[in-house]
């Protein structure tokens, strides 16, 4: 399948240590049919200081893959429907989880009792993380950093408008910090 981002793109931007592939499930597993699960198998997730993948290659059993177990251990509330959602990783101050039923990625910000739709699917999440990494790698060589930041935001929004839809989303916080010069 053709995606907007490839494993090679992630490796070029984040390095060989900056990509995490998810293992394939047993044949016949219902999640095997999910486009987001296929994406995680074929393309993977970036892994760096901004987005920490849930999987630690040295200790893959450290965290539960299920959101309900993870948030219960942290004594944080979550909607009952999210109990079986899959933890993808940690994006700044939020846990990101995949709803396998519809492929959408939700953020569970620390310090709040709410969650928000962050990306329409895992491909959108990776696309946005790659756009942010590209910005970080190239910003010193760009004269107009504000215009370059706006270009990054536009690239993300053209692919998926969800990342900036909620004012408290991590993407809005990052963008504001970039414009203020604190990022």
The mean per-residue pLDDT over the stretch 41-49 comes to 93
Strand order of the β-sheet with 116-119 is 51-53, 86-91, 94-98, 105-109, 116-119
DSSP-H helix ranges across the chain = 7-14, 35-42, 67-73, 122-138, 145-159, 170-180
The domain spans of the chain are 7-122, 125-180
pTM strictly above 0.85? yes
Tens digits of residue pLDDT in 143-181: 998 999 999 999 999 999 999 999 989 999 999 999 998
Say which residues have a Cβ less than 8 Å from residue 72's Cβ, sequence separation at least 6: none
Sequential DSSP letters for 108-141: EETT-S--EEEESSHHHHHHHHHHHHHHHHHGGG
The mean per-residue pLDDT over the stretch 71-91 comes to 93
- Which pLDDT score, from 0 to 100, does residue 62 have? 57
If we measure between CA atoms, which residue out of 90, 126, 129 comes closest to residue 107?
90
Under DSSP, the state recorded for 66 is: B
Give the confidence band of 31 by pLDDT, cuts at 50, 70, 90: very low
Question: Residue 94 and residue 156: Cα distance in Å, rounded?
Answer: 19
- Whether pLDDT at 116 is above 80: yes
Question: Residue 109 and residue 118: Cα distance in Å, rounded?
Answer: 11
Question: Residue 73 and residue 22: Cα distance in Å, rounded?
Answer: 23
Q: Positive or negative CA dihedral for 29, 105, 91, 143?
A: positive
């Amino acid at each position: 399948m053709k995606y907007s981002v490839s494993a090679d793109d992630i490796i070029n931007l984040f390095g060989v240590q900056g990509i995490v592939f998810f293992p394939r499930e047993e044949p016949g597993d219902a999640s095997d049919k999910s486009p987001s699960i296929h994406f995680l198998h074929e393309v993977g997730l970036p892994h760096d200081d901004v987005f920490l993948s849930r999987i630690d290659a040295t200790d893959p059993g450290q965290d539960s893959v299920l959101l309900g177990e993870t948030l219960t251990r942290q004594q944080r509330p979550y909607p009952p429907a999210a109990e079986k959602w899959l933890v993808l990783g940690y994006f700044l101050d939020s846990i990101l989880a995949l709803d396998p039923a519809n492929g959408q990625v939700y953020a569970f910000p620390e310090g709040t009792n709410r969650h928000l739709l962050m990306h329409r699917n895992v491909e959108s999440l990776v696309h946005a993380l790659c756009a942010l990494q590209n910005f970080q790698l190239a910003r010193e060589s760009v004269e107009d950093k504000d215009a370059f930041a706006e270009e990054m935001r536009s690239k993300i929004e053209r692919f998926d408008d969800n990342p900036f839809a909620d004012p408290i989303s991590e993407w809005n916080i990052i963008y504001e910090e970039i414009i203020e010069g604190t990022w």
